[in-house]
Protein backbone atom coordinates (compact mmCIF):
# COMPACT_ATOMS: atom_id res chain seq x y z
CA UNK A 1 0.00 0.00 0.00
CA UNK A 2 1.59 3.27 -1.16
CA UNK A 3 0.84 6.30 0.98
CA UNK A 4 1.89 9.76 -0.16
CA UNK A 5 2.23 12.02 2.84
CA UNK A 6 3.27 15.46 3.93
CA UNK A 7 5.59 15.45 6.92
CA UNK A 8 6.16 18.82 8.62
CA UNK A 9 5.33 20.42 5.29
CA UNK A 10 7.69 18.29 3.16
CA UNK A 11 6.35 15.72 0.73
CA UNK A 12 7.18 12.06 1.17
CA UNK A 13 6.03 8.57 0.36
CA UNK A 14 5.85 5.45 2.48
CA UNK A 15 4.91 2.04 1.16
CA UNK A 16 3.77 -0.56 3.67
CA UNK A 17 4.47 -3.96 2.10
CA UNK A 18 3.55 -5.84 5.25
CA UNK A 19 2.42 -4.43 8.62
CA UNK A 20 3.81 -5.57 11.99
CA UNK A 21 5.11 -7.49 13.81
CA UNK A 22 7.49 -8.41 10.95
CA UNK A 23 7.03 -5.19 9.03
CA UNK A 24 8.37 -4.65 5.51
CA UNK A 25 8.27 -1.15 4.08
CA UNK A 26 9.85 1.24 1.61
CA UNK A 27 10.47 4.98 1.98
CA UNK A 28 10.20 7.02 -1.21
CA UNK A 29 12.06 5.16 -3.95
CA UNK A 30 14.44 3.63 -1.40
CA UNK A 31 15.16 -0.07 -0.86
CA UNK A 32 12.83 -2.45 0.95
CA UNK A 33 13.50 -2.44 4.72
CA UNK A 34 12.40 -4.50 7.70
CA UNK A 35 11.33 -3.48 11.18
CA UNK A 36 9.92 -5.20 14.25
CA UNK A 37 6.72 -3.36 15.18
CA UNK A 38 4.46 -3.85 18.22
CA UNK A 39 1.64 -1.79 19.71
CA UNK A 40 2.04 -2.13 23.49
CA UNK A 41 -0.56 0.58 24.10
CA UNK A 42 -3.25 2.09 21.86
CA UNK A 43 -1.68 4.62 19.47
CA UNK A 44 1.85 3.74 20.59
CA UNK A 45 4.18 1.97 18.15
CA UNK A 46 7.33 0.34 19.48
CA UNK A 47 9.61 0.08 16.47
CA UNK A 48 12.95 -1.78 16.32
CA UNK A 49 14.76 -0.65 13.18
CA UNK A 50 18.39 -1.58 12.40
CA UNK A 51 18.89 -2.47 16.08
CA UNK A 52 17.63 0.88 17.34
CA UNK A 53 14.53 1.23 19.50
CA UNK A 54 11.93 3.93 18.87
CA UNK A 55 8.66 4.69 20.66
CA UNK A 56 6.29 6.54 18.34
CA UNK A 57 3.19 8.09 19.92
CA UNK A 58 0.37 8.95 17.56
CA UNK A 59 -2.38 11.50 17.95
CA UNK A 60 -5.25 11.85 15.52
CA UNK A 61 -6.17 15.50 15.03
CA UNK A 62 -8.54 17.23 12.58
CA UNK A 63 -5.47 18.40 10.62
CA UNK A 64 -3.97 14.92 10.35
CA UNK A 65 -1.66 12.82 12.47
CA UNK A 66 0.82 14.05 15.03
CA UNK A 67 3.65 11.59 15.63
CA UNK A 68 5.91 12.19 18.64
CA UNK A 69 9.23 10.33 18.96
CA UNK A 70 11.65 11.20 21.80
CA UNK A 71 9.78 14.46 22.26
CA UNK A 72 10.23 15.43 18.60
CA UNK A 73 6.95 16.31 16.97
CA UNK A 74 5.99 15.49 13.38
CA UNK A 75 2.79 16.73 11.79
CA UNK A 76 1.83 14.30 9.09
CA UNK A 77 -1.00 14.36 6.57
CA UNK A 78 -1.55 11.09 4.81
CA UNK A 79 -2.92 12.03 1.43
CA UNK A 80 -5.34 10.37 -0.89
CA UNK A 81 -3.24 9.43 -3.97
CA UNK A 82 -6.06 10.40 -6.33
CA UNK A 83 -6.05 13.94 -4.97
CA UNK A 84 -2.26 14.06 -4.95
CA UNK A 85 -1.85 15.85 -8.27
CA UNK A 86 -4.47 18.49 -7.63
CA UNK A 87 -2.55 21.29 -6.04
CA UNK A 88 -3.94 24.74 -5.48
CA UNK A 89 -1.99 27.26 -7.50
CA UNK A 90 -3.38 30.53 -6.27
CA UNK A 91 -1.20 32.48 -3.89
CA UNK A 92 -1.96 35.02 -1.21
CA UNK A 93 -3.42 38.15 -2.78
CA UNK A 94 -3.97 41.69 -1.66
CA UNK A 95 -7.63 41.05 -0.75
CA UNK A 96 -9.29 41.55 2.61
CA UNK A 97 -7.22 40.61 5.65
CA UNK A 98 -8.85 38.49 8.36
CA UNK A 99 -7.68 38.89 11.93
CA UNK A 100 -8.25 35.63 13.77
CA UNK A 101 -8.03 34.61 17.42
CA UNK A 102 -4.54 33.12 17.96
CA UNK A 103 -5.83 30.96 20.82
CA UNK A 104 -9.10 29.85 22.36
CA UNK A 105 -10.31 32.47 24.83
CA UNK A 106 -12.72 35.26 25.57
CA UNK A 107 -13.09 38.66 23.87
CA UNK A 108 -12.63 41.28 26.60
CA UNK A 109 -12.62 44.43 24.48
CA UNK A 110 -13.44 45.42 20.93
CA UNK A 111 -11.53 48.57 20.07
CA UNK A 112 -12.84 49.26 16.53
CA UNK A 113 -16.11 49.22 14.62
CA UNK A 114 -16.92 48.59 10.95
CA UNK A 115 -15.96 51.57 8.81
CA UNK A 116 -13.11 52.73 11.09
CA UNK A 117 -9.82 53.56 9.42
CA UNK A 118 -6.90 51.90 11.21
CA UNK A 119 -3.18 52.52 11.25
CA UNK A 120 -0.53 49.75 11.26
CA UNK A 121 -0.06 48.60 14.86
CA UNK A 122 -3.40 49.91 16.04
CA UNK A 123 -5.20 47.65 18.54
CA UNK A 124 -8.34 45.93 17.21
CA UNK A 125 -9.52 43.38 19.74
CA UNK A 126 -8.27 42.18 23.14
CA UNK A 127 -8.60 38.43 23.75
CA UNK A 128 -8.02 36.84 27.13
CA UNK A 129 -7.14 33.24 27.87
CA UNK A 130 -5.85 31.90 31.13
CA UNK A 131 -5.75 35.33 32.73
CA UNK A 132 -3.48 36.66 29.99
CA UNK A 133 -4.65 39.42 27.70
CA UNK A 134 -3.46 39.78 24.13
CA UNK A 135 -4.17 42.78 21.98
CA UNK A 136 -4.56 41.88 18.30
CA UNK A 137 -3.28 44.69 16.13
CA UNK A 138 -3.65 45.74 12.53
CA UNK A 139 -0.61 44.69 10.48
CA UNK A 140 -1.27 47.39 7.88
CA UNK A 141 -3.34 50.50 7.32
CA UNK A 142 -6.87 50.04 6.07
CA UNK A 143 -10.55 50.24 6.78
CA UNK A 144 -12.44 47.83 9.03
CA UNK A 145 -14.82 45.82 6.84
CA UNK A 146 -16.56 43.87 9.56
CA UNK A 147 -16.30 43.04 13.24
CA UNK A 148 -17.61 39.64 14.23
CA UNK A 149 -16.19 39.71 17.77
CA UNK A 150 -18.42 40.82 20.60
CA UNK A 151 -17.26 41.62 24.12
CA UNK A 152 -17.65 38.70 26.49
CA UNK A 153 -17.94 36.10 23.70
CA UNK A 154 -15.91 32.90 23.85
CA UNK A 155 -13.90 32.27 20.70
CA UNK A 156 -12.05 29.27 19.27
CA UNK A 157 -8.49 29.38 17.95
CA UNK A 158 -8.55 30.57 14.35
CA UNK A 159 -11.99 32.16 14.63
CA UNK A 160 -12.12 35.36 12.57
CA UNK A 161 -12.75 38.41 14.75
CA UNK A 162 -12.20 41.37 12.42
CA UNK A 163 -11.70 41.76 8.69
CA UNK A 164 -9.76 44.65 7.19
CA UNK A 165 -10.08 46.00 3.66
Partner 1 sequence: MFRKVLIANRGEIAVRIIRTLREMGIATVAVYSEADRTSLHVRMADEAAAVGPAPSSESYLRIDRILAAARDRGADAIHPGYGFLSENADFAAACEDAGVVFIGPSAGAIRKMGSKTAARQTAIEGGTPVVPGTDHSVTLEEARAFSAAHGYPILLKAVAGGGGKGMRLVEHEADLESAFRNAASEAERAFRNPEIYVERYVSHSRHIEIQLVGDRHGNMIHLGERECSLQRRHQKVVEECPSPLVTLHPEMREAMGAAAIKAARAAGYWNAGTVEFLVDANHRFYFLEMNTRLQVEHPVTELVTGLDLVRVQVEIAAGLPLTIRQKDISWRGAAIEARIYAEDPYNDFLPFPGTLTRLTRPMGPGVRVDGCVYDGWTVPMEYDPLLAKLAVWGATRDQAIERMIRALREYDVGGIRTNIGFFRQILEDEELRAGRLHTGFIDEFFTRHRPPEPPAALAAVAALAAGLHTVSRGRPADADSTGPRMSAWLKSGRKDLLQ
Q: How far is CA 50 from CA 35, 54, 66, 68, 94, in A?
A: 7, 11, 24, 20, 51
Taking CB under 8 A as the criterion, the residue among 31, 36, 77, 107 binding partner 1 is 77
Q: Which stretch binds partner 1 (CB under 8 A): 89-97, 101-109, 139-147?
A: 101-109
Taking CB under 8 A as the criterion, the residue among 12, 96, 115, 120 binding partner 1 is 12
Count the alpha carbons within 13 Å of 134 in the hemisphere toward its beta carbon.
Answer: 13
Q: Which stretch binds partner 1 (CB under 8 A): 52-60, 89-97, 141-149?
A: 52-60
User: How many Å apart are CA 98 and CA 96, to the nearest integer?
Assistant: 7
User: How many Å apart are CA 111 and CA 114, to the nearest integer?
Assistant: 11
Q: In terms of DSSP H, where are the helices of the chain? A: none
- Asked if 14 touches partner 1 (CB under 8 A), the answer is yes
User: Which residues form the interface with partner 1 (CB under 8 A)?
Assistant: 1, 3, 5, 7-8, 12, 14-20, 23, 25, 27, 35, 37, 39, 43, 45, 47, 49, 54, 56-60, 62-74, 76-80, 102-106, 108-109, 123, 126, 128-135
Amino acid sequence: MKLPLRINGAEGLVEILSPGPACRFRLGEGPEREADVRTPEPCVYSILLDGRSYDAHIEETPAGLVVVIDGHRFEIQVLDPRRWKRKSAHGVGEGPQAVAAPMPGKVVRVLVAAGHAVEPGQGLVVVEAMKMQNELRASRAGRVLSVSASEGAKVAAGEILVTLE
